[in-house]
């Protein structure tokens, strides 16, 4: 294991499964049984949608304390957490490597490196420039620890499923829904109506109050405020985690939408001006 | 209608240059090129397509500076482009969405050519060059879709290159030669990247010939009647530069809506999963612009026959000028053909729908039946529907157009573009700007 043992190790995240590798990646779409997909009104939906910072910050906590027992986040670097549009962005720290949150989070992980003096492989404390380290040394080790199934990397998970945010939220909250009679679940697999075929290798990772949310520090018009955290229900954690993983999958969403708005306004004005230019140039021309 | 050049160099330097390399003259002649005065908005797609090609080449060249064509690094390099390269997220989306916009515009351009008979004499070579551009575009898009090395990239490449194995006798060797191995792997990715970088410049060269031929014979127009007098035409600039510019701006609004608000709407979620040769996605579907041909491919049970049909569907476009023998170009004056053309467009959309559907699923529900005690829908499956529309697709080119060429009576046509524009009642109205 490449990271320090989490302080609150989670029983629900320890997975014991037998084989069947084909289950872990199946694309969304085939909902089983009587399960009705829930469609939360995500703050990042719509033309003006943005990430809910407080929720995404709590989502990071859920990832760190629960998901990170098995799932990597290999395309995300610690410094990304402090980028503009990211959950831990602070205006006072335009360089995310100086951001105190980022420094702390990086220091919470240990990273494999090579000692430049001796050439030995060593473990050192993470720095903001590091990427989230792998959870297992390789895929074979990951499968061996998970009964033959490979826990997928979560960096782009929300984009790697159609309607990924809803998919993830429903997947995490649907474990308790009634199982259709006659559906055989192989030992080591678990019933989940959102997964194609209704079977998933991952055991239900969440349970109420699994993590302890701390009050969030938020800058409110230049004043540092403490926001009381919500109760850590399964739904709340699933929703917070979805916010965080939606950001890891699409970290430029806010820039994209704001540049998009300006671009489209510009193009609409240009279109109108060109239309009147066209009318003027052709004003006396029968066509 | 290119006619003699009217350019006269005004400055000594321009005159000096004109005697040595008349490149300024070429540009000036381009801008003063006499164009029919009755071109409608369907004729703006040529300019839009030129812009699409430029956008793809510029964004593509910059992406190539950051992309790594290696099976172990390709997916990660695209992630790096999207996450770390300044404005990489914008360039990568622009290139991917731009491909869809390019095809959208090319289909509009082709349907316009089909309706107004732009493939007929003396424009056969323009049309054939256009078909060649379309063919190279398809190859370029396919090669490019492999590069991000996602699941659809890999499995799409596996399926498409698998077609070559159906060629009798040499099939397997041909496939291995193309792939550089027994399966899609590093050798394939590297050659696909090299070719994906090369082909856009082939397209650019073909576009040059396409436009050259166009300037040699002159543009077609919505009534399909050739330009006869100077009154029939307007200078390309400013009349059509401003009209094209307006159309381009509107097109860019649509482009921007997809680019900034729906960047993944035209793609497939599976391509955000890194390629895995051990795991086949449940549904392998090509990009939307290939769906009609995918439906034709799957319309027959035999693999080789399907491939021949798919090749035939494109090959038939090349010989269209000799299949449609009717003397009248524009379908405005062909009361029968225009209805068959309308059905043809509908069939193309149905083929696209079939390409996206699962062949055995019911497309059009006509009732239900009991199978093994379970009530299931019955009706026309996607498989049947794709057969019907494939038959129509080929019949349109091979039967309907040749037969109509012999028997269809056109309705009365105006004598000239000017008469068509002014009508008989408004004779004498101003034709050109007062100055």
Q: A27 touching B, CB under 8 A?
A: yes
Q: Quick check: B259 and A260 CB within 8 A?
A: yes
User: Is the pLDDT confidence value at B132 over 70?
Assistant: yes
Contact B260 A259 (CB under 8 A): yes
Question: How far apart are the CA of A156 and the nearest CA of chain B, in angstroms?
Answer: 7
Per-domain residue ranges of chain B = 35-226+233-284, 288-410
Give the mean model confidence (pLDDT) for residues B277-304.
93
Model pLDDT for residues A185-216, shown as the tens digit of each residue:
888 899 999 998 899 999 999 999 999 998 87
Q: What's the rounded mean pLDDT across residues B380-401?
A: 96
Using a CB–CB cutoff of 8 Å, tell me whether A75 touches chain B. yes
- Of B38, B257, B260, nearest to A256 by CB-CB distance is B260
Any idea which of A2-6, A131-135, B139-143, B239-243 has the lowest mean pLDDT? A2-6
What's the gap between Cα A21 and its chain centre?
22
Kindly report the pTM of this predicted structure.
Answer: 0.91
pLDDT band at B424 (very low <50, low <70, confident <90, very high): low
pLDDT of residue A225: 79
Residues of B within 8 A of A284 (CB-CB) are 430, 432-434
CA-nearest of A148, A153, A137 to A67 is A153
Which burial class, exposed, middle or buried, applies to A6 when counting CB atoms under 10 A from its CB (0-12, 13-18, 19+)? middle
Q: Which residues of chain A have pLDDT under 50?
A: 1-29
Question: Which residue on chain A is closest to B260 by alpha carbon?
Answer: A260
Q: Check CB contact under 8 Å for B243 and A159.
A: no
Q: What is the pLDDT of residues B3-36, one digit of tens each?
A: 678 899 999 999 999 999 999 999 999 999 999 9
Examine the predicted complex and report whether its ipTM is higher than 0.90: yes
pLDDT in tens, B181-230: 999 999 999 999 999 999 999 999 999 999 999 999 999 999 999 999 99
Q: How much is the pLDDT for B371? A: 77
Q: What is the pLDDT of residue A21?
A: 31
What would the pLDDT profile of B72-97 be if each residue is shown by its tens digit? 999 999 999 999 999 999 999 999 99
List all residues of chain B from 363 to 422 with a beta carbon under 8 Å from chain A: 421-422
Is the CB of A140 inside 8 Å of chain B's CB atoms? no
Domain B35-226+233-284, CATH class in plain words: mainly alpha
What CATH architecture is A11-76+132-251? Orthogonal Bundle (1.10)
* CA–CA distance, B420 with B15 (Å, rounded to integer): 41
**Per-domain boundaries in chain A:** 11-76+132-251, 256-287
Interface test with B, best of A22, A28, A250, A263 (most B CBs within 10 A): A263
Measured between CA atoms, how close is B316 to chain A, in angstroms? Answer: 35
Q: What confidence tens digit (pLDDT) does each residue in A68-94 have?
A: 999 999 999 999 999 999 999 999 999
Asked if B385 and B325 count as a contact pair (C-beta separation under 8 A), the reply is no
Contact at CB, B243 and A278, closer than 8 angstroms: yes
Q: What is the pLDDT of residue A223?
A: 77
Q: Which residues on A lie below 8 Å from B273 (Cβ)?
A: 25, 152, 156, 160
């Amino acid at each position: 294991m490449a990271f320090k043992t989490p302080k609150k190790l989670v029983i629900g995240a320890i997975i014991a499964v037998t084989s069947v590798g084909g289950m872990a990646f199946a694309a969304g779409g085939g909902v089983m049984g009587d399960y009705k997909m829930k469609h939360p009104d995500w703050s990042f939906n719509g033309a003006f949608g943005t990430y809910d910072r407080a929720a995404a910050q709590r989502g990071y906590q859920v990832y760190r304390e629960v998901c990170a027992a098995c799932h990597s986040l290999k395309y995300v670097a610690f410094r990304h957490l402090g980028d503009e549009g990211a959950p831990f962005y602070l205006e006072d720290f335009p360089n995310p490597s100086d951001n105190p949150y980022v420094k702390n989070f990086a220091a919470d992980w240990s990273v494999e490196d090579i000692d430049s003096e001796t050439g030995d492989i060593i473990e050192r404390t993470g720095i903001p420039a590091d990427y989230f380290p792998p959870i297992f040394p390789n895929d074979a080790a990951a499968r061996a620890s998970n009964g033959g199934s490979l826990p997928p990397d979560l960096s782009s998970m929300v984009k790697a499923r159609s309607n990924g945010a809803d998919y993830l939220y429903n997947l995490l909250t649907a474990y308790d829904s009634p199982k259709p009679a006659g559906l055989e679940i192989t030992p080591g697999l678990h019933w989940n109506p959102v997964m194609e075929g209704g079977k998933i290798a991952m055991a239900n990772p969440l349970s109420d109050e699994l993590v302890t949310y701390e009050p969030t520090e938020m800058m409110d018009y230049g004043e540092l405020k403490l926001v009381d955290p919500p109760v850590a229900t399964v739904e709340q954690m699933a929703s917070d985690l979805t916010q965080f993983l939606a950001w890891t999958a699409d970290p430029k969403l806010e820039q994209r939408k704001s540049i998009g708005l300006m671009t489209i306004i510009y193009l609409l004005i240009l279109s109108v001006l060109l239309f009147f230019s066209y009318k003027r140039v052709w004003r006396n021309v029968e066509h | 209608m290119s006619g003699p050049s009217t350019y006269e160099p005004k400055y000594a330097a321009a005159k000096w240059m004109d005697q040595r390399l008349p490149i300024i003259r070429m540009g000036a002649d381009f801008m003063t090129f006499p164009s029919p005065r009755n071109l409608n908005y369907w004729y703006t797609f040529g300019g839009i397509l030129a812009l699409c090609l430029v956008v793809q080449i510029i964004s593509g060249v910059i992406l190539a500076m950051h992309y790594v064509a290696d099976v172990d690094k390709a997916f990660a390099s695209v992630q790096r482009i999207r996450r770390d390269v300044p404005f990489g997220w914008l360039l990568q989306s622009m290139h991917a969405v731009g491909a869809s916009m390019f095809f959208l515009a090319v289909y509009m351009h082709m349907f316009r050519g089909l309706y107004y008979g732009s493939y007929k004499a003396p424009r056969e070579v323009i049309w054939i060059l256009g078909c060649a551009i379309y063919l190279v575009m398809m190859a370029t898009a396919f090669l490019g879709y492999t590069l991000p090395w996602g699941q659809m990239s890999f499995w799409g490449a596996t399926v498409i290159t698998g077609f070559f194995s159906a060629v009798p006798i040499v099939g397997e060797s041909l496939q291995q030669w193309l792939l550089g191995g027994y399966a899609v792997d590093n050798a394939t990715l590297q050659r696909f990247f090299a070719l994906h970088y090369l082909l856009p410049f082939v397209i650019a060269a073909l576009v040059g010939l396409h436009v050259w031929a166009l300037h040699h014979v002159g543009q077609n127009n919505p009534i399909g009647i050739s330009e006869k007098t100077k009154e029939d035409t307007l200078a390309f600039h400013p009349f059509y530069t401003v009209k094209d510019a307006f159309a381009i701006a509107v097109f860019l609004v649509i482009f921007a809506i997809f680019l900034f608000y729906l960047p993944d709407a035209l793609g497939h979620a599976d391509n955000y999963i890194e390629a895995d040769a051990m795991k086949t996605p449940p549904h392998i579907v090509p990009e939307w612009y290939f769906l009609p041909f995918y439906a034709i491919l799957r319309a027959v049970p035999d693999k080789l026959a399907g491939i021949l049909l798919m090749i035939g569907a494109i090959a038939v476009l090349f010989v269209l000028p000799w299949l449609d023998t009717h003397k009248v170009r524009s379908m405005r004056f062909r009361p029968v053909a225009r209805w068959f053309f309308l059905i043809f467009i509908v069939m193309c959309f149905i083929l696209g729908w079939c390409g996206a559907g699962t062949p055995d699923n019911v497309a059009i529900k006509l009732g239900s039946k009991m199978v093994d005690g379970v009530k299931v829908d019955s009706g026309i499956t996607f498989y049947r529907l794709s057969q019907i529309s494939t038959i129509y697709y080929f019949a349109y080119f091979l039967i309907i157009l040749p037969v109509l060429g012999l028997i269809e009576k056109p309705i009365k046509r105006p004598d000239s573009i000017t008469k068509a524009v002014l009508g008989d009642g408004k004779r004498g109205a101003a034709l050109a700007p007062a100055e």
